[in-house]
Structure 1
Amino acid sequence: MSQTVLGSITLGYRPLWDKSRSVAAIQLFIDARSDAPVDAVQLLNALQELGNPGTPPLLLSVKSPQLLRDLLDNAPRSPYWIEVRNEWMHSHAMPQRVQRAHQRGLRLVWRGEADEAPAPELAACFFTRLLRLSPQAALSGLQAAARKRSDPGAQTDSPVLAGQIYEGIASRLLMEHCLDQQQAAALLGWPDEDVLHALQHKATAPDYSAMVKLVKAVDEDLAVEQIEALLSEEPILTFRFLAYANSAAVGLRNDIESLRHGLMMLGYKQLKRWLQEQMPQGSRDPNLLPVKAAMVLRARLMENLMDAGVEHELAREIYLCGLFSQIDVLMGEALGTALHRVPLSSRIYNATVRNSGPYAPLLQIASAQESDNGSAIRSLCHEHGMGLEDVNRALLHTLSALKK
């Protein structure tokens, strides 16, 4: 039954980031075809089959009022959050449906503009709100942030409320005001462009804490698979390691195209020495963590989209393709220029720079799934002959591997 459900919907996602710059939850877009109504209970059963209790919660964001009504009327109590849009609250007895769903124990999230609010009799039905600041409210927030920065002890009025979720925050200063000064619960999306603008087109360094974790893993003599997994979670460190392994300073005869090969050739002692040389210049900017984590998510999704079976090298090559597909924003140079620094497979270069070759469809679909554009995802799946059910399962497997 769940196969039919996953084959008749289109899924996309967007992370919610908390104060620690970690994934607090995942907004899961669910776009159902108008000619194929989806049963809410079957949908939840399909999600639970592929879920993992230890992952961040899913915020179900359905694009159909009909499916939302079905969820509110019939969904059993579950760990999922269900988004209720304000513009849908005024028809089809939605207030009564919300109240009954709340009484059954469903976790509901009200979504609307920051200057709006649910009716007083409904406010208790929502455990939090997902809000968008108007341009004027965003300006007031920036002014409050500036006053707080100049005088941390000052009492300032701000449109940002503690414990709520905010979306559409494009400014680094406003992001820090929401999470650090006003104790917002999370941000939906991340101000990548403004965070990266502070680099002024210069290459960023690998994350310091990631290198500390790797040195500790080496000292504990963890298996090479575990070392590889830790290393591959930091895009800049992964890139620098491959560049180092292929440098004249190392002097290996053959090109190193994978992390596993490089680790086997260099050994733990040389890896630790190299990491310790990198650490003094390590980045301690927490605002870069979501940017890098999003790259890792794309890489994992691409790996799951291609059923590589037991072919480890093929799977890791696809992973590197996703990981390096946006490495230019961290390197401060054109993508093609950056990728020429390491002897990567031509398949990676073709997919990321030329939008061609066998990995290009995987990269296109993985990139499209980072949004709520269901029609674009369906079009790409049709163009490349990939079934919606397989694509949706790949996304759910990727999200189920996340850790809180």
Structure 2
Amino acid sequence: MAQTVLGNIFLGYQLLWNQLRQPAAVRLFVDADAAVPVDAQHLLAALREQWPEQAPVLLLEIHSVSLLNDILEHGTASDPWVQVPEAWLVSDAALAQRVHQAHHRGLKLVWCGAPGQRPEPAISEIFHKSIINLTAEEALLGLRASLQKHDDQDSAAPLNSPVVPGQIYEAIGNRALAEHCLDQQGAWALTGWPVEDVLHGYRQQLIQPGQTAIVRLVEAIDADVALDTIELILSEEPVLAYLFLRYVNSAGLGLRNEVESIRRGLMVLGYSVLKAWLLEQLPHAASDLNLQPVRTTLVTRAHLMEHLLDAGDEDDLRREVYLCGLLSQIDVLLGEPLATSLERLPLPERIQAALLQNDGPYAPYLAIAAALESPNTRATHTLCHEHQIDMEEVNRALLRTLSAMLARPARGLLA
């Protein structure tokens, strides 16, 4: 049964970001068809089997009341964290009782409520953490407190920020408020990232490749590491990968044939020329940590497509699928229409068709990868049905992708 329970649920995901702008946790949205019962014990066993200890924390947001009740009845300390909505807690006495019982068994529970709500003192000790959604007034107070700390206004009466250490904050849409939560107040994580506001700060300038990736590549070249390692590091920095493909196809290099893949470009260029090019990029490289969640989101989609369209031993096909996912949102970082970004690259027709015409063999997998980034799990189910793609295989691909991330606790703080 543990081999088939993943075929009876619909999943989605959201990354939670810590102070290092790395994934502290993965929120897994879980829903099920009311007509098809899901065995909670087998589901928990399947998740334990798929999720290694070194991966970020796994947090379940379950959209079915009956399934949440069953998870609470069977969950233990070794199982994923479980989110409990305040609205269900106060309206369902049986669920509230199961919450207390699950807490005594060691299951880590996470409270969540509406904007402005906090868990009642009588039950707050039951919950390992809370997901707090600030009201507009609280968000404004947080920004004012942040500004006061930033300006070091000792003479002014200190403002009490609504952001408290160690908790999770929801729907933070402002870069300054995100920095206040994570850097000043010690929030444990943010759900999602204020991508639009972060990128708005770069509207008058081009976003450059990340400094860390360039330094890692130069060090790897100096250490004469394998080509696979160089390719991996380069492929996980979207802007650098894009600029590299433009460079190897530039008229200045005078190559006879177009280069459609990062691997081929590395083989043609060689380490010495690659290092010289990287050193040219280094003085302009970006060191803004707030860009890291944007990069990681693109890379996660690329890896997800790689797992969704399992190429087996076909390495060239696997690389092509990955590149399709990596470039699917490159326009967000380049600040221009996607068609404009892609017309500068000699990409394979299958990538062009998927990204620009929503057509071809990669298009269904790109659509599913994008749908999985949402709490609307039914959209993924609909796409799988339309394209006759097995739901269980999609769920397994998602779990393989997310569980491969490495947890990097900020400031040594453990879960």
Classify the TM-score, shorter chain.
over 0.9
| Structure-2 residue corresponding to 1:106 | 107
Question: 1 CA distance for matches of 2:181 and 2:119?
Answer: 21
Q: After superposition, what is the alpha-carbon deviation per residue over 1:76-97, rounded to whole angstroms, capped at 9, x for unaligned?
A: 3215111011111121333321
Aligned partner letter, 2:55: T
Quote how far apart the aligned CAs of 1:201 are: 5.5
Unaligned 5+ segments in structure 2 are: 408-415
Distance (whole Å) between structure 1 residues aligned to residue 115 and residue 381 of structure 2: 32
Question: Counterpart of 2:131?
Answer: 130
Shift of 1:262: 0.8
- 1:249 correspondence with 2:252: yes
CA shift in 2, pair 1:70/1:34, >3 Å: same
Map of 2:143 onto structure 1: 142
Give, in angstroms, the shift of residue 71 of structure 1: 1.2
What does 1:215-230 correspond to in 2, within 5 Å?
Answer: 215-230=218-233
Distance 1:342 1:331, change over 3 A: same
- The 5 Å alignment of 1:270-289 reads 270-289=273-292
- In the alignment, residue 16 of structure 1 is paired with which amino acid? L
Tell me the equivalent position of 2:413. none
Rounded Cα–Cα distance in structure 2 between residues aligned with 1:393 and 1:99: 31
Shift of 1:107: 0.7
Native 8 Å contact 1:172 1:191 kept in 2: yes
Equivalent residue runs for 1:151-190 within 5 Å: 151=152, 155-190=158-193
Q: Paired residue for 2:57?
A: 57
Equivalent pairs counted in the alignment come to 404
What is the SS of the residue equivalent to 1:343?
A: coil
| Structure 1: distance between partners of 2:163 and 2:50 | 36
Q: Can you give the 5+ residue segments of structure 1 that lack an aligned partner in the other structure? A: none
- Does the 8 Å contact 1:142/1:173 carry over to 2? yes
Could you tell me whether the CA contact under 8 Å between 1:69 and 1:94 is conserved in 2?
yes
Q: In structure 2, give the amino acid aligned to 1:318.
A: V
Partners in 1 of 2:205 and 2:384 — Cα distance? Answer: 36
CA distance in structure 2 between the partners assigned to 1:74 and 1:282 by the alignment: 50
Contact 1:13 1:371 in 2 (8 A): yes
How many Å separate the matches in 1 of 2:284 and 2:106?
Answer: 49
Give me the whole-angstrom Cα distance separating, in 2, the residues matched to 1:25 and 1:317.
29
Query: Residue 295 of structure 1 corresponds to which residue in structure 2?
Result: 298
What amino acid maps onto 2:85 in structure 1? R
1-side partners of 2:346 and 2:115: how far apart?
Answer: 49
Cα separation, 2, equivalents of 1:283 and 1:17: 19
1:180 and 1:75 map into 2 onto residues whose CA distance is 33
What are the within-5 Å matches in structure 2 for residues 313-392 of structure 1?
A: 313-392=316-395
- Structure 1 residue 121 displacement after superposition: 2.9
Retained in 1: the 8 A contact 2:111–2:131? yes
Distance 1:255 1:370, change over 3 A: same
Partners of 1:246 and 1:79 lie apart in 2 by 49
Which residue of 2 is the match for residue 18 of structure 1?
18
Specify whether residues 201 and 369 from structure 1 end up closer, same or farther in structure 2 by C-alpha distance, changes over 3 A only.
farther
Deviation at 1:340, TM superposition (A): 1.0
Match of 2:411 in 1: none
Q: Is the CA contact 2:117–2:133 (under 8 Å) kept in the aligned structure 1?
A: no
CA contact (8 A) 1:148 1:156 kept: no
Contact 1:336–1:349 (CA<8 Å) still a contact in 2? no
2:48/2:79 contact within 8 Å kept: no
* CA–CA distance in structure 1, aligned partners of residues 77 and 168 of structure 2: 22
Pairwise CA RMSD of aligned residues? Answer: 1.3
Q: CA deviation at 1:9?
A: 0.3
